[in-house]
Structure 1
Amino acid sequence: MQTLNQDIKNNSFKPVYLLYGEEAFLKNSYKNQMKSAITQGDTMNFNQFGGKSIDVKELISLADTMPFFSEKRLILVEDSGFFKAAAEELVNYLPQMPDTTCMVFVESEVDKRSKMFKKVKELGYAAEMERQDINQLARWAGTLLSREGKKVTGQTMELFLNMTGDDMENIRMELEKLICFTLGRDIITDEDVMAICTERTTNKIFDMVTSIVNRQTKRALELYEDLLTLKEPPMRIMFLIARQFNQLLQVKELMGKGMDKGGIAAKLKIPPFAAGKLMPQARTFSREQILSYVNSCVEAEEAVKTGRLSDRMAVELLLTAKY
């Protein structure tokens, strides 16, 4: 992302950019920064397209149109699918695009083997917005708090990030709540975090799996009821349970290869604190038990889809099964 920052700072832009990856907050942030820097608030020379049904000929026609009393025309294209499906016409056009046009693609799904991806890398810049690691998130969150005159210890920051997860938009919203909650005070404490921050659903799923590990069926069902009260759909809960056991399976295999917490976090692209929580759980299960639970999740989903079980009952059976 250093290239993006430099281009924005120097107000010197390549003909085409691609912003992609899991971190939606960063994609939106850089999209807005680039729009502001290139257009300078000029809407006359700004065009925006979105979705899978974009007319490529219209896109090319606009790209060929000279900007009106401005150096650049910006065309923003979001979730086009051009980096997954064939887009030959656009691939062939990009090298001929006038230097008065800058085209920025913001995509959720990208195939790095596609011709469009390779062409954008050749002519411009492709920036992958990945989930940030715990240290990067802590620095970023600390900077936002510092701007508001707030201070926080490393221990409290770790507690905060453990509750919020690594989604930057969620972190930003929780920080705003903390700042408002601590008006008139400089120091943010563990108690403030516990009092005001919303615990993410995945934390409850983790606790649910822990209850399953410890054969605490009643506790697992209580957590399930909590999630239902929070309007979490049963099928999403089932998906998260399945994902948790899939992660446990991967962690167990990586631990078997001698990997430590840092190596596992890097391999699975999860925060180190998340890897640190998964490792003890993985030790509790045998590989066969984890596989059995993963298969049960698949069978439960199939039972719901075929109408043999209601979604709510399918999850309850998962939580009460013995392995």
Structure 2
Amino acid sequence: MAVSNTSNITKDIKNGEAASLYYFYGHDTASIESYTKWLINKLCPKDAQFMNFHKFEGKGLDIPALVDACEALPMFAERVVIAINDLRMEDISKEDGDALRKIVSNLSETTTVIIYATGVDLYKNKRNLTDKNKRFCDHCAKYGEVVDFAYKSAGELGRSIAAALQKNGCAIDKRTAEYLAECCGCDSAYIKQEIDKLSAYAQGRSVTKEDIDTICVKHIESDGYELAMNILNNNAKYVYNRLSELAKQDYDAYEIVSIIGFSLTDIYRAKLARSSGLAAADACKDFGYAKNREFAVKKAFQICGSISLTKIREVLKIMSQTDLTMKTTSLDKKGAMLVLEQRVAECFMAGNGRV
């Protein structure tokens, strides 16, 4: 599957070169939405959109109406632009899917179709599209541009965070900006919300880590790392207080166990790499980490030196068994949280202290 990047597309658009088909997908839906809006306005200026812009929803896609829109000639404009939002191939029939492939394979030079996903899940796991969506994506790549909007790294987002806060009259140092990105799981949509809150809270001064901890709602995956590290360091007060807060926010114990296990795996990999004389970058490369998750291994690499490999293994084993128990036993929310708290207590007793 050939995947383009937005930099090349932007350059082509500015040079007056537009493709007939664009397919945008990925986890960073805020970036997809923002870039799609920019692209639509560039290809079909607002004063021409009444006659030349057509938008369809992927679910219940009206194929005959889509055909009519694609065959229409532009009126007092250079091209007709058609946007299809949240198309999921599992939601349409085989006949409509075949018809759609035929449509996007035969677009005229004055027609551009933009297919973009912002509110549906196209994935079968964290990395891979479902088979039907993957086949359609591959088909689109033959006739146009395909872009995977993956999350950016904390470092990349840190620069844009600093620029956004500066625009709002505030400042933030590099490390604190990256910390905000990590707390938001490198999700642009979450970050934008928190920047608005921080700007109003700071009122022109520099934003600090304490400000972020005070008013920002942390992405639950960042909690996974903090909980994992504090479990390994036997910090019972922090762990139980945070579990209580998450329960009050209506998070399920099942979800909490999952993110703790996810972070423990990161820490385990970092510890193995460090013990073998490898760098954090080696672990990221060997285990295929996406850019938005590299920070997890790098941070773990810096901190895991004083934690024994035995401790990490035993805690990871206990959390894996806890996850299995919750998935194979009928428990209500309160019962599941009680099981989690009991297993965390076992984690504090695990390990023999050897590095």
Q: TM-score, normalised by structure 2?
A: 0.77
Provide closer, same or farther for how the CA distance between residues 276 and 82 of structure 1 changes in structure 2, counting only shifts above 3 A: same
Provide Cα deviations, 1:193-238, integer angstroms capped at 9, x if missing partner.
4444333333333333234324455543321111122233444334
Alignment equivalent of 2:84, drawn from 68, 77, 86: 77
Q: 1: distance between equivalents of 2:193 and 2:336?
A: 34
Amino acid in the other structure paired with 1:71 = E
Instruction: Tell me which residue corresponds to 2:201.
Output: 181
Alignment equivalent of 1:91, drawn from 88, 91, 101: 101
CA-atom RMSD, angstroms?
A: 3.1
After TM superposition, the structure 1 stretch with the greater mean CA deviation from structure 2, 250-259 or 230-239, is: 250-259
Alignment equivalent of 1:54, drawn from 57, 61, 71: 61
Amino acid in the other structure paired with 1:95 = S
Amino acid in the other structure paired with 1:274 = A
Q: 1: distance between equivalents of 2:201 and 2:8?
A: 37
Alignment equivalent of 1:228, drawn from 247, 250, 253: 247
Q: 2: distance between equivalents of 1:289 and 1:191?
A: 30
After TM superposition, the structure 1 stretch with the greater mean CA deviation from structure 2, 260-269 or 71-80, is: 260-269
SS state at 1:44 partner: helix
Instruction: Tell me which residue corresponds to 1:15.
Output: 20
Aligned-residue offset at 1:97: 1.8
Aligned-residue offset at 1:6: 1.6
Q: TM-score, normalised by structure 1?
A: 0.83
Provide Cα deviations, 1:281-305, integer angstroms capped at 9, x if missing partner.
78463546524422320221221xx
Instruction: Count residues in correspondence.
Output: 318
Alignment equivalent of 2:150, drawn from 130, 154, 158: 130
Q: 1: distance between equivalents of 2:215 and 2:180?
A: 10
The reply on whether 1:268 has 2:268 as its aligned counterpart is: no
SS state at 1:80 partner: coil
Aligned-residue offset at 1:106: 1.0
Alignment equivalent of 2:185, drawn from 152, 158, 165: 165
CA contact (8 A) 1:251 1:282 kept: no
Q: 1: distance between equivalents of 2:57 and 2:264?
A: 36
For structure 1, list consecutive stretches of 5 or more residues without a partner in the other structure: none
CA contact (8 A) 2:253 2:340 kept: no
After TM superposition, the structure 1 stretch with the greater mean CA deviation from structure 2, 277-286 or 287-296, is: 277-286
Provide Cα deviations, 1:81-106, integer angstroms capped at 9, x if missing partner.
23998633322332322222211111
Q: 1: distance between equivalents of 2:83 and 2:227?
A: 43
Provide closer, same or farther for how the CA distance between residues 251 and 82 of structure 1 changes in structure 2, counting only shifts above 3 A: farther
Provide closer, same or farther for how the CA distance between residues 126 and 261 of structure 1 changes in structure 2, counting only shifts above 3 A: same
Q: 2: distance between equivalents of 1:265 and 1:80?
A: 32
CA contact (8 A) 2:43 2:79 kept: yes
Instruction: Tell me which residue corresponds to 2:335.
Output: 313
For structure 2, list consecutive stretches of 5 or more residues without a partner in the other structure: 1-5, 123-128, 348-355
Provide closer, same or farther for how the CA distance between residues 268 and 319 of structure 1 changes in structure 2, counting only shifts above 3 A: farther
Q: 2: distance between equivalents of 1:9 and 1:282?
A: 55
Q: 1: distance between equivalents of 2:72 and 2:195?
A: 44
Q: 1: distance between equivalents of 2:170 and 2:108?
A: 48
Aligned-residue offset at 1:18: 0.8
SS state at 1:103 partner: strand
Amino acid in the other structure paired with 2:322 = S
Provide Cα deviations, 1:158-216, integer angstroms capped at 9, x if missing partner.
4433433311121222222222223243x334444444433333333333323432445
Q: 2: distance between equivalents of 1:149 and 1:264?
A: 39
CA contact (8 A) 2:171 2:204 kept: no
The 5-angstrom pairing of residues 99-118 of structure 1 reads 99-107=109-117, 108-109=121-122, 110=129, 114-118=134-138
